Structure 1
Amino acid sequence: MHEHHPKRPFDLLALLLFAVLSLVGGPGSAAAGDSPWGADYFPNIPLVSHEGKSLRFFDDLIKDKVVMVNFIYTSCREACPLETARLRQVQKLLGDRVGKDVFMYSISIDPKNDTPEVLKKYAEAYHAGPGWLFLTGNEEEITLLRKKLGVYYEGMQIDNFRDHNISLVIGNQRTGIWVKTSPFENSHVLADKVGSWLHNWKTPSKSRSDYAQAPELRNLSRGETLFRTRCAACHSIGGGDILQSEKGEIGPDLLGVTRTRDRAWLTRWLAEPDQMLAEKDPLAMALLAKYNNLQMPNLSLNQLEVEALIEYMEEESRRVEQSRK
């Protein structure tokens, strides 16, 4: 989860260099078949989806497609839950385009434990829709794939995968444009990158707005920045439970949470939810049961960050409640 910066492998540099060169001519400037990132570059490894289908990475998953590829493991209690929740937001924004002209793949780095059955339950817990596949396979072959995509650093491989690289790789295999980005990027920005930019803006936006409707820019507090990057994938403040209109929910709405929860309990919950669940704290266990057994991830917050986050939730709750009067 914690990014280190060892010397990047040649494969990653090559991918990023080609992405930059492609951008000089504009997205989609490379003709079909001209991309050097073809069958002779990508390992055509066999994978099995959470639906039980056997697939080849190049032939079946990325050839001539616009894709989003990330690497997770289902027992992760830190970055992976946030990453998966954020990508769920991206899928919702793209709608029925996922599986048609945009394809999403989450590949396990712990294939020994992440069987297709385990991945199916994980996908269902996050309400992943059609077109988003969760995949497993041979560990050595998946490691080779990670190296080719530039998201495997030798110095980051430690017990329990805690420091695995969490970058998201997006690309258009036909044009040869590949970019490594953060899976915690704003969901609207990510959706625009794969839905418009990688398609050379050939697909018109469904929404039309003018500059008069553009929101006013303002400086974000430390707490709001933390909320947007760490919490907003699973929670809102005044917007209702995430996914409340669909079957199941990911996380509770946090409007007024600083009043409804004991301050000491909330402070500790934000700092070490995994420890509180291990201790079977009654309230923590009740939340776990209510929200489909999706564990609150450890956000690696220090004391100052916890305080800033609580302050923002308090201020934003007051603002929302005042606006409703």
Structure 2
Amino acid sequence: MKKRLLGLTGIMILSIILSACSNYKFKADVNYPIEDFTMTDQRGDTVTLDDLKGEPWLAMFIFTNCTTVCPPMTFNMTGIQEELIERGVEDYKLVAFSVDPEFDTPEVLTRYLSNYPVPDDSKWHLLTGYDQKFIEQFALSSFKSFVKKPEDGGEVIHMSTFHLVDETGTLVKNYDGYSADGSISFDTIAIDMKTLIEERLGK
């Protein structure tokens, strides 16, 4: 009898969890339209805001000579992609804006990405092809994110945030992209991206 009650309790708990997951609704935290842009990715292809529209994309600001937060942020992004693949999510993009565009050419960005366990690099756009002043203004105006290259030639200062942009090109949510204790929630971000897609398709 006791085993039967435990079994029934387990089934009830599982049902509640599954019900909660199926009823989950995405809730935007912010509403910032991204400015139009024309940039170049690591393949040498031109990428515009319109090219990214139609599906959600997760963005970050990094540079290849970074010795602090950029490597773990990039590694975390590969973990999020693994989670997306496991959940069967296909309609998304992963975008990285270089905050040191003078050094980060498409060739440099390609080499940088090859150092990470990227499950599917076709989804990635590492962007460059603009000047330093532009990226500092663009990050602030579109993402409310701080970027500054010190005049003394030190490492570029930037934030370690992941930015979720919806299919219309609007920033809707921010996440911590780096944590010293490794507490980044890959599944939370993947679920939000999957939910955005399903709500757009009316599923």
TM, length-normalised to structure 2: 0.69
1:1-325 equivalences under 5 Å are 27=26, 41-56=33-48, 58-61=49-52, 63-95=53-85, 100-128=90-118, 129=120, 130-139=122-131, 140-147=133-140, 148-152=142-146, 157-158=149-150, 159-174=153-168, 176=170, 178-184=172-178, 185-196=184-195, 199-200=198-199
Tell me, what secondary structure is at the counterpart of 2:173?
strand
Residue-by-residue CA offset, 1:170-214 (whole Å, 9 max, x unaligned)? 12143956112111322222222222356449799xxxxxxxxxx
Question: What percent identity do the matched residue pairs reach?
Answer: 21
- The structure number with the bigger radius of gyration is 1
Is contact 2:109–2:126 with CA below 8 Å preserved after alignment? yes
Task: Quote the Cα distance in structure 1 between the aligned partners of 2:69 and 2:115.
Answer: 16
> Which secondary structure state, in structure 1, belongs to the residue aligned with residue 193 of structure 2?
helix
Unpaired runs of 5+ residues, structure 2, are 1-24, 179-183
In the other structure, the counterpart of 1:240 is none
Instruction: List structure 1 runs of 4+ shifted beyond 6 angstroms.
Output: 201-204
Larger RCO (CA within 8 A; separation ≥ 6): 2
1:69 maps to a residue whose letter is A
Q: Superposition RMSD on alpha carbons, in Å?
A: 3.0
The change in CA–CA distance for 1:136 and 1:175 in structure 2 (over 3 A counts) is closer
**Could you tell me whether the CA contact under 8 Å between 1:177 and 1:198 is conserved in 2?**
no
Shift of 1:138: 0.7
Cα gap change, 1:66/1:77 in structure 2, threshold over 3 Å: closer, same or farther? same
Conserved? CA contact 1:66–1:171, under 8 Å: yes
Cα deviation, 1:92-150, whole Å, max 9, x if unaligned, reads 1212967x411110110001000000000111111332201111121233223201111
Contact 1:195 1:203 in 2 (8 A): no
Count of aligned residue pairs for this structure pair: 165
SS at match of 1:194: helix
Greater share of residues in strand: 2
1:241 corresponding residue in structure 2:
none
Deviations 1:54-85 (A, max 9, x none): 111x1112x23211010100010110000000
The residue type equivalent to 1:196 in the other structure is: T
SS of equivalent to 2:154: helix
Unmatched tracts of structure 1, length 5 or more: 1-25, 30-35, 205-325
Aligned counterparts of 1:28 and 1:174: Cα–Cα separation in 2: 15
Once the 2 structures are TM-superposed, how far is the Cα of residue 43 of structure 1 from its aligned partner? 2.6
Cα deviation for residue 53 of structure 1 reads 0.5
* Change in CA separation of 1:192 and 1:54 when aligned onto 2, cut-off 3 Å: same
TM-score, normalised via structure 1 length = 0.45
- CA gap 1:176/1:48 in 2 versus in 1, 3 angstroms: closer
